[in-house]
Structure 1
């Protein structure tokens, strides 16, 4: 059975309805997202104390743990194994940490390798007790600036539309909405009889 589908919201909704009619599966909306494109990068002022650094193999445990916390609310079909996810991102220098002046990591942001001139900011995460201090905005600004400096023609990111804080933050630092996306997961109908 097809586990789910993600893509432009209207197209995905149409497919999910057709799949339900065809298979009897139940399509459940798992996430609504918005794609943003960076316009003029506007760093938050004042920014929090500290600075950004590229995560290394020594940070693997922290990065895997934070990814696990970040992805915990997602359906299983949309998550990766934390250790594999961390290893893949660290292998290409795709995780940046924001550290306080004493060197304590307080937030992370990932980026994808540049493809066709585009870099995508992915998995921006600040642990719950550290939110509200500007660390997420600072690390997002740092990776966005680094992508531009590395020659990216476009810097993109997706947000969860259920999180108004992140959507507001990204717009304040210069990201502009492009298109809405959705992810649906397919579940067997409750009265379905399993195949023998």
Structure 2
């Protein structure tokens, strides 16, 4: 790639972004899973699905229009970047700073996120702090837990909306995202495509849930796994995750993915026992003065 011929182009038009950068995103569905699923949800549910402030999108292109990297921001969330060079990171930081854009955080492949954090700190003086180290996993051979906990899996229905919304709010609080997404809107979106699986006790009481994003580019992502604190340690989360993973495969997904927080050895161990294998490491940096 002749990097000196590349520069950033930005738009707030989702269809223009996908028209110009869609093939690039589809070229590596696993590595680009977040941008693929986020843009799919924006296209389906509208630009305000994550908040009132308009999202924006960028692509790093050469004179012929070849895309070498992409970036997007859906406020209140921070930047999401694909793999990019140090030069691309410097140019990105320069453009955003000159345009007066707020950047509360950046997440992406570990080296790319670190490159942008360094560039943004140097450009703006905003101290960058490593907030989270993540690992992207891809499902290999699904290995359900044996023995499974008592009970069964069930796809959540409209009648489960209140429970699913409440559990999503608790999950968001647990991971420090608070009210970043409206729980009712999240529940409605997931339930609409059958994307939430509940694990129930033999008496029919839900004890855990796992959800997946809609299929796009042949992949789905397990995005929320939650068990209420008093019920943890009994195998419910593993059973729910195995069930939702099996359902995704049965529905035709070519890849089933998930992210973990590397600071949580319990979840990393669990997903590997279920058959998930590491793909790449990601990182999130936060900027204190952004």
TM-score by length of 1: 0.91
SS at match of 1:52: strand
In 2, Cα distance between the equivalents of 1:57 and 1:9?
38
> CA separation in 2, counterparts of 1:76 and 1:128?
17
1:119 aligns with 2:220: yes
Q: Which residue is equivalent to 1:46? A: 147
Partner of residue 280 from structure 2, selected from 179, 183, 187:
179
RMSD: 1.6
**Residue 78 of structure 1, CA deviation:** 8.8
State which drifts further: 82-91 or 128-137.
82-91
Greater RCO, CA 8 A, separation 6+: 1
User: In structure 2, what is the Cα distance between the partners aligned to 1:92 and 1:48?
Assistant: 26
Aligned pairs (5 A) from 1:54-69: 54-69=155-170
Aligned to 1:144: 245
Shift of residue 77, structure 1, vs aligned partner = 8.6
What is the total number of aligned residue pairs between the two structures? Answer: 189
Measure, in 2, the Cα distance between the counterparts of 1:84 and 1:29: 30
1:101 equivalenced with 2:229 (yes/no):
no
Among 254, 258, 269, the alignment partner of 1:153 is 254
The aligned counterpart of 1:25 is 126
Distance 1:74 1:45, change over 3 A: closer
Hey, what's the Cα distance between the residues in 2 that align with 1:70 and 1:184? Answer: 21
Further displaced range: 79-88 or 163-172: 79-88
Alpha-carbon spacing, 1:77–1:46, altered in 2? closer, same or farther (3 Å): closer
TM-score under structure 2 length normalisation: 0.62
Q: Aligned ranges for residues 62-77 of structure 1 at < 5 Å? A: 62-76=163-177
Change (3 A) 1:74 1:138: closer
> Which digits, 9 at most, give the CA deviation of each residue in 1:154-184, with x for residues without a partner?
1111111111111000101100011111112
Deviation at 1:143, TM superposition (A): 0.7
Whole-angstrom distance in 1 between the partners of 2:186 and 2:267? 22
Q: Using a 3 Å threshold, how does the CA distance of structure 1 residues 179 and 29 change in structure 2: closer, same or farther?
A: same
Given the alignment of the two structures, is residue 110 of structure 1 paired with residue 241 of structure 2, yes or no?
Answer: no
Query: Does residue 11 in structure 1 map to residue 112 in structure 2?
Result: yes
SS at match of 2:240: helix
The 1-side partners of 2:124 and 2:169 are apart by 32
Q: Return the alpha-carbon distance in structure 1 between the equivalents of residues 164 and 286 of structure 2.
A: 27
Partner Cα separation in structure 2 for residue 73 and residue 142 of structure 1? 23
Aligned in 2, Cα 1:74/1:137: closer, same or farther, shift over 3 Å?
closer
- Conserved 8 A contact 1:107-1:136: yes
